[in-house]
């Protein structure tokens, strides 16, 4: 693992993990969750990144400013977007195939990953229990009004993925039916809306699966998650090659 700063700020960095071999390796931008709060950093999603790299997919695990350390809307997303653009500089220094970069996000990171898709900064998105509908999450008052704290004076129209459909990139949503942190209905409602809008979207709903299992490579659901990531990565790279 190599920690790389993309700017002078304390949170302007990411952890790059490369698979074995000469490459070029497919790349996934990974965005951690934590309801956009300063208390939760990128370390807890490190095992997922290690597992992906061991399987042949390079990961760029982004850090970003959060509520409590200078973040909130739109600063948090601006940090993530800048980190996504930075992959071109990474590709100049490391053996990476950036023709079909995907974003993987967990919980609040799923929200940010879908926004990268909406801005066409990635070619595909995997949302793991993502907060894809800020309006519904706010109505449910998830995690002590986390959405209100994050959004501030921002609007749902500019910050909520469901309000931006169609995104125009393939999306794979994975959300456990036993999730008691981010209710499954958030992804289910988003998936229905995305399908109606014409997006390429699929929702996998593993039973007896909670919130944190989705980023645990030792969990029973991990093989299914890895297959989804591997398949969408291969699909978008193939599409990019055919267009070229």
pLDDT by residue (tens digit) across 67-85?
999 999 999 999 999 999 9
Judge whether residue 158 has pLDDT over 90.
yes
Query: Are 211 and 176 a contacting pair, CB within 8 Å?
Result: yes
pTM (2 decimals)? 0.96
Q: What is the largest CA-CA distance in the chain?
A: 49
Beta bridge partners of 208: none
For residue 204, what is the domain's CATH number?
3.40.50.1820
User: What separation in angstroms does the CA of 118 have from each of 1, 95, 226?
Assistant: 29, 27, 23
* Predicted pLDDT at 243: 55
* Predicted pLDDT at 11: 97
pLDDT by residue (tens digit) across 96-155?
999 999 999 999 999 999 999 999 999 999 999 999 999 999 999 999 999 999 999 999
Q: Is residue 5 very low, low, confident or very high in pLDDT (cuts 50, 70, 90)?
A: very high
| Number of separate domains in the chain | 1
Query: Are 66 and 149 a contacting pair, CB within 8 Å?
Result: no
**What gap in Å lies between CA 207 and CA 56, rounded to an integer?**
28
Q: Which of 18-32, 108-122, 230-244 has the lowest mean pLDDT?
A: 230-244
Q: Provide the residue range defining the domain that includes 96.
A: 2-243
pLDDT by residue (tens digit) across 166-177?
999 999 999 999
């Amino acid at each position: 693992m190599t920690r790389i700063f993309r700017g002078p700020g304390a949170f302007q960095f990411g952890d790059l993990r490369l698979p074995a071999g000469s490459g070029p390796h497919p790349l996934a931008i990974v965005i951690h969750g934590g309801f956009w709060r300063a208390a939760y950093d990128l370390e807890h999603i490190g095992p997922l990144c290690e597992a992906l790299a061991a399987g042949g997919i390079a990961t760029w695990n982004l850090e970003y400013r959060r509520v409590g350390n200078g973040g909130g809307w739109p600063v948090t997303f601006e940090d993530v977007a800048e980190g996504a653009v930075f992959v071109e500089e990474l590709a100049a220094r490391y053996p990476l195939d950036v023709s079909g970069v995907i974003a993987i996000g967990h919980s609040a990171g799923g929200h940010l990953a879908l926004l990268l898709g909406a801005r066409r900064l990635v070619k595909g998105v995997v949302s793991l229990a993502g907060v894809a509908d800020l309006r519904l999450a706010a109505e449910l008052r998830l995690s002590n009004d986390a959405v209100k704290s994050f959004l501030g004076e921002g609007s749902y129209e500019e910050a909520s993925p469901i309000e931006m459909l169609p995104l125009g990139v393939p999306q794979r949503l994975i959300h456990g039916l036993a999730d008691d942190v981010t209710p499954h209905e958030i992804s289910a409602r988003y998936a229905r809306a995305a399908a109606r809008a014409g997006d390429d979207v699929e929702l996998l709903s593993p039973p007896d699966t909670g919130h944190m299992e989705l980023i645990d490579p030792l969990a029973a659901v991990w093989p299914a998650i890895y297959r989804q990531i591997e398949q969408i990565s291969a699909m978008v790279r193939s599409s990019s090659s055919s267009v070229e």
